[in-house]
A and B are shown apart, each in its own frame.
Chain A
Amino acid sequence: MAYGPHTPADRQRMLAALRMDSVDDLFADIPVGLRSSPLRLDPPEPEQLLMRRLDGLAAKNRVDLASFLGAGAYRHFSPPLVDQILLRGEWYTAYTPYQPEVSQGTLQSIYEYESLLAELVGLDVVSASHYDGAAATAEAALMTCRATGRGRVLVSRAVHPHYREVLRTYFHGNGLHFEEIPLAAEGSVAGTTDLAELERRLGDAENPVAGVVLAQPNFYGLLEPMRDASDLVHAAGALFVAVVEPVSLAVLAPPGAYGADIAAGEGQALGIPPQYGGPYLGILACTEPLVRQIPGRLVGMTTDVDGRRAYVMTLQAREQHIRREKAASNICTNQTLLALAASVWLAALGPHGLRDVAALGAARAAELEAALASVGVARVHAGAYLNEFAVRVPNAPAVHRELLERGVLAGLVLAEAVPDEPALADALLVCATEMTTGDDVATFAREIGALLADAGAGAGGSAAAAPVGVTA
């Protein structure tokens, strides 16, 4: 057997100690009528053949394209030291640190992660991790209900559609309600949260609001008026949840600066590879008064009997293994190794490196905007952005498919991602990071320019069916 150590002699010895003849005797307690049919699976695959076959499967994915796809998962440079640390068995094969005396490595690393994120986010309490940004956001929304005793949460439609869908799933049928605040439609604030509508909904005295959720930057890459929103929210006695992108926090004002009570977000951007969706890193942070409401593990510093500094999981009485049906959340296993990965990445880059990563992305995104504009592809919105924005593209789904064949992953087709935003039916959400090269940008602009020119001239190509020169 692949990893099992037992020889036939070992098994004999064990059976002898049990005074049994066959291992089947140990399964006699399964009622005959419930015994299963044999497993109909392929035979064991030796490692050499498994690796060859997995190579073949991996080769069916294309990861070599010039990619401008972000939308909640971002490519960043990871110095090789990070993965070499993560490959140490003492890190990745360790169990949850319930016996702290033999888990100080894991415990200290979580404390350091909590501290690093607290600095970045500007809030003092950071959980040891949640599943991903979407689950963390849903839990943040639930926290606002518990903390205020109210049952109504407002979520901007500029928050990632996956996050809103998860909120819907978590809230559905629990006696809690959430409503979506629409996007502002006109002018310089188009694409950000409609603050006037937010204020109106907060003003319903019959239905007080527990919490309000906005993202910064928002799903469309735009910068939201977080301080103004925070003031409106607090004036109504509600709590303010900011959904954040951690790399941007190197250069953008953090939740602590604009009065957010809770921050949630996706830590994948902190050097974790995209991996087609996970495992990722749910960031969840709050102000100190809310500490007993935050779900998930917390690690604190303490001393041992000899006065040594030591670390331990603390405030465990919040969690499911103690509070059971009264626990705020059922979370047990979290994303500890990814919290370590993020910490090592932050240590490897340092504050200046992190800022440079954010600034390089911003610079490249400005180049991208200019290059696309030069071939007639303009931004949908006018507001400020960091490194991601939407561009107007006629027949976006077909153009996107065609560009794929020409070696460009041209961001996200918004018609497919947010079909309930008709104003964005002909648009692509594109992003640039420090990994985007000047050649990538030039290729994208050249190819899309050519495609749209062909479409305009009515000559050939799959985009030829597009109406001429249409912009919304």
Chain B
Amino acid sequence: MSASGPRLQPTIFELSRPGRGAGKVPHPPADALDRLPAQHRRERPAALPEVNEPEAVRHYVNLSQMNHAVDTGFYPLGSCTMKWNPKVNEWAARQPGFAQLHPLAPDAIAQGTLQLLWELEQILIEISGMHAVTLQPAAGAHGELTGILMVREYHRAQGDMDRTDVLVPDSAHGTNPATATMAGLRTISIKAAPDGGIDLDGFKAALGPTTAAVMITNPSTLGIFESRIGDLLDAVHAAGALAYMDGANLNAILGRFKPGEAGFDVMHINTHKTFSTPHGGGGPGAGPVAVGEKLEPFLPAPRVLRQADGSFRLERVGERPTSIGRMRSFVGSTGVLVRAYAYLRTHGASGLAEITDDAVLAANYLKQRLADSGAYDIPFPGVCKHEFIASATSIKKKTGVRTLDIAKRLLDHGFHAPTVYFPLTVDEAMLIEPTETESIETLDAFADALVAIAREAEADPETVKTAPHTAPVRRLDEAGAARNPNLRWRPAAGDWTPCPD
């Protein structure tokens, strides 16, 4: 680590000097490319940077030190479930037997991975209370699209061509309506009931012969269990539609609520939320989808099959014509799935139940701490699940300090901000999710910091409004970035800000 702490770095291009680097691979024969016709040859070599190993490593190490990460501190991000990323999972995924296996390797030489994937499916079937699973989707949103495409195909297979509406609560995550659009369906947003939960009458009024599905997050994006969910599911099925559960909040219900048992027809799971696979700065994740019997024929191909002799194989091309087809190349983001598998086996039944109990306990404790302080509005003060909403509406009215400012000031306290301005239905929202892996000392310190900032908003609002003060950079000109996008480094002189050193 550099002695002066996290420092800004020039781009890798600015470190380049002609003649630096090389020595990693042998030289090819001089005539290696002679047989390539001239019209296909690259005329101008790509201006990639030439750096030696020390320069390259220092560059990436120094950059990394400007990041907040789970390995450095707390992320109270609602809806993201930023729990600990276990180190044994990194070991598991890197085992050469897993990491070096080609995705088109014949089944006979892939039995270890095929068995792991099949066992993972069985575990997810049990957790979800569903009937079958696909591990193909590369992310939660990818899983959503997979699920909704299966729903659409199910209706069409029944000759039901008019079911083109998807109903979502107005607190839904943006991926839900975006998914419906990608599937060629129309989104109808249903306003919440006064208690923040689904408005049963609102949904019932909208349900009908044109409804393909409802997409529900449970617990909701307000962190509250939808106690009316049973009635909703009955109404959905009575209308001939199917029920999709957005599994983003699965951390709140492990061992307490199985969506498939309750009547959901399909759900996706975010392994990078509930099952600890690391976020990597924005990905990769994985979005397995679990389905009930109705949708099983439509699962993406190829499925992993267990044969009578206990060996495993992939479905062959064209083997199951009812499938919606492929959502991606190859079988799935197996490296991510190996990590999820290791996590699930580490915890087992009792460990998973404990995760949910501790996550919910921690969230309610933190909510109580804030409620007791009186420093923030708690719009839904009743029992929450794994996350809860606080609002800065009163603070804003009194001092002009907004949730955005409080979020930035938290950075100075060494915490990442919570999720802000989501869900869209709550004014000056902060969605706070501690997860089960933060110590009570961390929870108390976080609550103390939030309270201190609220007091500071009254005593010295300017400091809060201009935060952060101690991060490697301060507030950014996001408008300028969007008005005049600079999306790539250009080596020639031009309109760019001088190199940091």
Contact = CB atoms under 8 A, between A and B. Distances in A.
Nearest to A16: B365
7 closest cross-chain pairs (CB), A and B: A58-B97, A89-B71, A337-B280, A277-B330, A60-B112, A336-B282, A279-B284
A90 B65 CA distance: 7
Most A Cβ at <10 Å: residue of B69, B75, B227, B255: B69
Nearest to A336: B282
A173 B104 contact: no
B141 A320 contact: yes
B282 A106 contact: yes
Nearest to B115: A57
Contact of B348 (A34, A35, A44, A115): A44
B57 A81 contact: yes
B475 interface: yes
A280 B138 CA distance: 9
A342 to B, nearest CB: 12
B280 A336 contact: yes
Interface string A306-331: 11111010111101111111110111
Contacts of A321: 173-175, 422
Contact of B334 (A115, A278, A344): A278
A134 B326 contact: yes
Contact of A384 (B35, B71, B100, B348): B35
A457 B253 CA distance: 66
Contacts of A63: 96-97, 100-101
Give chain A's interface residue range (CB within 8 Å of chain B). 35 or more
Contacts of A106: 67, 281-282
Given A60-B111, A166-B325, A95 B279 contact: yes
Given A5-B438, A60-B97, 19 more contacts: A23-B357, A51-B92, A54-B342, A58-B96, A61-B105, A72-B104, A93-B71, A93-B279, A108-B9, A125-B487, A135-B327, A275-B98, A278-B330, A278-B336, A279-B333, A299-B487, A302-B477, A320-B177, A409-B102
Contacts of A183: none
A301 B25 contact: no
Contact of A332 (B60, B106, B141, B344): B141
Interface in A115-166: 115-116, 118-120, 124-126, 128-129, 131-135, 160-163, 165-166
A433 to B, nearest CB: 10
Nearest to A254: B42
A166 B383 CA distance: 44
Nearest to B144: A330
A24 to B, nearest CB: 9
B474 A301 contact: no
A310 B53 CA distance: 25
Nearest to A119: B46
A92 B328 contact: no
B477 A14 contact: no
B485 A298 contact: yes
B116 A57 contact: yes
Interface string B293-307: 000000010000000
B172 to A, nearest CB: 8
Given A115-B11, A310-B476, A359 B104 contact: no
